[in-house]
């Protein structure tokens, strides 16, 4: 009986007998096309603008030009970060405070959008420990609003990152998104803290979302019973960011796992490494680690380098 059970588990979850998808992986461009930096020694308070690699392109993350460049390079989805402002807008900007990247000071969300528009978002970038600042003066006025981004790209898909654990922020975002059609909302996914995502999902139940809580509610029961082919209801209509290090633990990975999630309208994004610091599949050697039959999403910080390889 035990051997029969083991055989069933194997046959039901192996990808060997699953027809390979002809689809190429979905490409998710983290913060658009921006400047990258070494991940070694990164901490939560590290100013990454002060440690960028020598620039290979002129784009700054979370700006409309960087998003245009990402889509032109081949991105299917662009990720960006938002903060509410004191005058009722959502600013598109990564950092909780302004000092690292800009010539401003203080907490991002404690400013008006008008004040944020005056800042130079390229002010703090340096590749040589402050000897030169190649983007200083070139990022004035480039911090966009959420509305500007969605208006500029009416047909494109986005992953929006709520940068707080404030429940009220989820309600604000739900109110903003309520103006859009179902067709538009199908192109939007939102992730962030448990509280704002829960509040957002309550108001926008059909919106694809992700948080630590939604990931746990899906993946923990799936790890327990997914060998049967059962997909928990909590997995439906959501997004899963799976660290590469742990992907093989998913029952049926890659093909059957991806197919099961696709059937319940859930998008799987593979993140490089252990998922700690937004590590991406950023070069050819990274892509070589992907399973041959992988057709889910991949997270990249260098869409300009990765997309041509994937799309060829």
Show which residues are catalytic: 30, 94
* Rounded Cα–Cα distance for residues 88 and 172 (Å): 9
Q: How many helices (H) and strands (E) does the chain have?
A: 11, 9
Q: What are phi and psi of 166, to 5 degrees?
A: -90, 115
Name, in order, each residue with C-beta under 8 angstroms of 110's C-beta and a sequence gap of 6 or more. Answer: 86
The two structure tokens encoding residue 181: 């059609």
From CA 160, how far away is CA 30, in angstroms rounded?
Answer: 10
Residue 23 neighbours by CB under 8 Å, 6+ apart: 295
Residues 131-150 as b/e (b if ≥16 CB within 10 A, e otherwise) read eebbbeeebbebbbbbeebb
122 alpha-carbon distance from chain centroid: 22
Q: How many CB atoms lie within 10 A of CB 5?
A: 10
What's the burial of 191, exposed, middle or buried (CB within 10 Å: 0-12/13-18/19+)?
A: buried
């Amino acid at each position: 009986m035990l051997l029969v059970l083991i055989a069933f588990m194997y046959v039901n979850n192996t990808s060997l007998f699953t027809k390979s998808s002809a689809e190429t992986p979905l490409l998710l461009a983290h913060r658009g096309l921006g400047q990258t930096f070494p991940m070694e020694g990164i901490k939560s308070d590290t100013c990454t603008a002060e440690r960028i690699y020598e620039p290979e392109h002129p784009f700054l993350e979370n700006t409309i030009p960087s998003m245009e460049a990402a889509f032109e390079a081949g991105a299917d989805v662009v990720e960006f970060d938002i903060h509410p402002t004191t005058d009722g807008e959502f600013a598109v900007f990564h950092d909780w405070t302004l000092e690292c990247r800009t010539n401003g000071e203080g907490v991002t969300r404690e400013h008006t959008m008008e004040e944020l528009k005056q800042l130079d978002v390229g002010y703090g970038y340096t590749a040589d420990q402050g000897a030169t600042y190649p983007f200083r003066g070139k990022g004035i006025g480039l911090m966009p609003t959420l509305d500007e981004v969605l208006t500029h790209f009416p047909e494109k898909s986005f992953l929006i990152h709520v940068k707080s654990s404030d429940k009220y922020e989820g309600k604000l975002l739900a109110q903003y998104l309520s103006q859009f059609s179902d067709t538009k909302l199908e192109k939007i996914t939102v992730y962030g803290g448990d509280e704002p995502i829960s509040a957002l999902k309550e108001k926008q139940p059909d919106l694809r979302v992700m948080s630590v809580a939604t990931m746990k509610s899906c993946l923990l029961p799936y790890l327990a019973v997914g060998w049967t082919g059962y997909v928990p209801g909590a997995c439906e209509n959501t997004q899963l960011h799976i660290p590469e290090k742990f992907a093989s633990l998913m029952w049926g990975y890659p093909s059957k796992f991806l197919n099961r999630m696709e059937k319940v309208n859930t998008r799987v994004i593979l993140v490089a490494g252990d998922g700690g610091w937004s590590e991406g599949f950023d070069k050819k050697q990274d892509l070589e680690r992907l399973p041959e039959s992988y057709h889910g999403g991949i997270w990249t910080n260098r869409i300009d380098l990765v997309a041509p390889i994937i799309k060829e």
